[in-house]
Amino acid sequence: MEGYPRRICDDKTCPQEVSRARLLFYAKTEELIGTMKVFCGRANPTTGSMEWLEEDEHYDYHQEIARSSYADMLHDKDRNIKYYQGIRAAVSRVKDRGQKALVLDIGTGTGLLSMMAVTAGADFCYAIEVFKPMADAAVKIVEKNGFSDKIKIINKHSTEVTIGPDGDMPCRANILITELFDTELIGEGALPSYEHAHRHLMQENCEAVPHRATVYAQLVESRRMWSWNKLFPIRVQTSLGEKVIVPPLELERCPGAPSVCDIQLNQVSPTDFTVLSDVLPMFSVDFSKQVSSSAACHSRQFEPLASGRAQVVLSWWDIEMDPEGKIKCTMAPFWAHSDPEELQWRDHWMQCVYFLSQEEPVIQGSVLCLVAHHDDYCVWYSLQKTSPEKNGRVLLARPVCDCQAHLLWNRPRFGEINDQDRTDQYVQALSTVLKPDSVCLCISDGSLLSMLAYHLGAEQIFKANHLEDKINMIEKRPELLTPADLGDKKVSLLLGEPFFTTSLLPWHNLYFWYVRTAVDRHLGPGAVVMPQAASLHVVVVEFRDLWRIRSPCGNCEGFDVHIMDDMIKCALDFRESKEAEPHPLWEYPCRSLSEPQQILTFDFLQPVPPQPIRAEGTIELRRSGRSHGAVLWMEYHLTPDSTVSTGLLKPAENKGDCCWNPHCKQAVYFFNTTQDSRAPPDSPRTVSYTVAFHPDTGDVTMDFTLSDALTC
């Protein structure tokens, strides 16, 4: 692991989320009973308060390991086999030249690739791992497998490795093995690492595994994916006819967020996009030669396959493990895969969605150029009428959001706001509670509820936007509101979606309840709160693939990696095993084994209670399958007749296939005792649970236990 996984900080966990995702800053340390403790500041996403927590000094390490993709990589059989084949071939080529095979393995992780190299006949391996807990584990794994005499683990960044009699390596290596790639290929710093390695650590004419990588792109038109990047006009049906909320011009012109959107592209239906180009090979990197991390652009001329609006570039890559390109590992989605039946599921490498700065009309048969730009860490695309090489223009500057909306909303949030059916549901609910003299206070981040209330005829609304005569922006924390802030008026309608940018787990949006409590004194007699309540729901599921990220590997291509399994389990047991984690489940197919069940309710008509809200019971499993975990989500009851779900959108079909809200992440609680594949698929028959909401912290704690209390 030369760098940290991009998935920690990508659009699935956007920057504003990361700020509240327990990214802790060290404020004070002291020695307590012989163990270093760290006092950490955390902005609580549910209560909105600042907390100081005493944590173990290795807390961040435990989180990094627990949330890493190591298990997923070890389960990636296609990746492992192709690497092994490429390593064998590289060692053979060096031996055939009469040379010793000296391997440099950058980002060794578990040491797996180094052990493959020694088994293939390498004379010695220098395995670099910058993450100390991982380097320590690699030492133990290498020793366990009997390779300590042939593999040296170096706990440094590769750019800090020294060569010489007193250095980390006595001489340069002649085989370079790396796994420094993310979904975008270069996002983990592969190019600078390769550049440095060739200049300072490798012999000339060395072998490299992988030998080459090629990035592919395909231009498409997709209203669904474009809705993740641009705000569409929003239609509001009122008693006076249809009103249209038009996005501001600066938002229309904004090029959008600069980061890649990485998703499981195989879960996007082909009906959701129109292909405008063939799959185009955009650029390749030969890892056996000197690599440059300098900014560059690569253009490919093409004729559109159909007329339409160019909006989105779908992209992926493959790696060739040998110079001849016979050993290939590809990330291609099913429609571009040479053998879709052999498609390997993986979550550590997916596919990329890039958004053009502006949509462009294209005409079938006309000649255009798709241009891939990259710097040392990022890739982006532009569409041009002529090749940059011909007209002398090279656009190298990364697109950067200048409208602020892309900094406030992540891609799923854009999609949620653009969901007209969802908007219609809120409009319908609002119309039943709104009166001509309503004084509204809107509590949600970047919400258009205030605009909807305005168009439906509210007298006064307190929220941020450009309708100053009717809508006032209040830049204060809710507990600091004064009557003067509200124009000495009492609030008659308190509104929320609710949505807050700092929320990671579904119940974090209960921050609305805390705000409602803080502004209680500003509510007038008979004030209406919308939503009036919320409920927490659960269903037990069998995942098609997602279970792999938490499943022990044991043996990987003949090597014992139980130590890594134990390390992950220890990290999970540190805290994570008792916590749920957020996943956008529309990307991860699963079957429900139970009926959905409501387990907690939250009454927004009343302030947050002082005592915990608890529930315990059992969930009956009605379908056969392997119980991988429980999925939890929130439902918001806008009115007695209108409910918005952040989880299941409709009852499961006969086979139990789930349809999830694509705009939200659901909470997944992986069971500790995953059933053995040899166990009968229909046992156990019940799951016991204990769930509690703690008002003092805003936390939801839970425990689930598989049991066979119900006999068939």
Active site amino acids: 179, 188
Residues 6+ apart with CB under 8 A from 165: none
Place of tokens 């236990």: 705
Q: How far apart are CA 77 and CA 660, in angstroms?
A: 29
DSSP reduced 3-state for 62 = helix
Angstrom distance (rounded) from CA 101 to CA 175? 7
Q: Which residues pair with 353 in a beta bridge?
A: 261, 314
Helix locations, 334-410, DSSP H:
388-391, 405-408
Q: What distance in Å separates the CA atoms of residue 525 and residue 504, rounded to the nearest whole number?
A: 34
Asked if 116 contacts 84 with a C-beta cutoff of 8 angstroms, the reply is yes
- Residues with Cβ < 8 Å from 476, sequence gap 6 or more? 485
The residue among 588, 560, 552, 564 whose CA lies nearest residue 673 is 552
556 φ, ψ (degrees, to nearest 5) = -125, 110
Indicate the helix (H) or strand (E) that contains 54.
Answer: strand 50-56
What's the number of CA atoms in the CB half-sphere (13 Å) around residue 16?
A: 17
Dihedral in degrees, nearest 10, Cα atoms 255, 256, 258, 259: -150
Distances (CA, A) of 203 to 125, 169, 238, 290, 540: 15, 13, 73, 11, 55
Please count the residues of the chain. 712
Best CA proximity match to 329, nearest among 312, 313, 316: 316
Q: How far apart are CA 125 and CA 151, in angstroms?
A: 5
- Select from 156, 98, 99 the least CA-distant residue to 126: 156
Q: In the chain, count H helices and then E strands.
A: 16, 37
Specify whether the CB–CB gap between 452 and 426 falls below 8 A.
yes
**Best CA proximity match to 680, nearest among 702, 657, 708:** 708
For residue 273, give both structure tokens. Answer: 């996009």
Dihedral sign for Cα atoms in the order 654, 660, 661, 667: positive
CA dist., res. 22 & res. 712, Å (int): 44
Q: Tell me the C-alpha distance between 287 and 175, whole Å.
A: 11
Type of residue found at 664 = C
**Whole-angstrom Cα distance, residue 290 to residue 301?**
27
Do 321 and 327 meet the contact criterion of CB atoms below 8 Å apart?
A: yes
Alpha carbon 152 to its chain centroid, in Å, reads 34
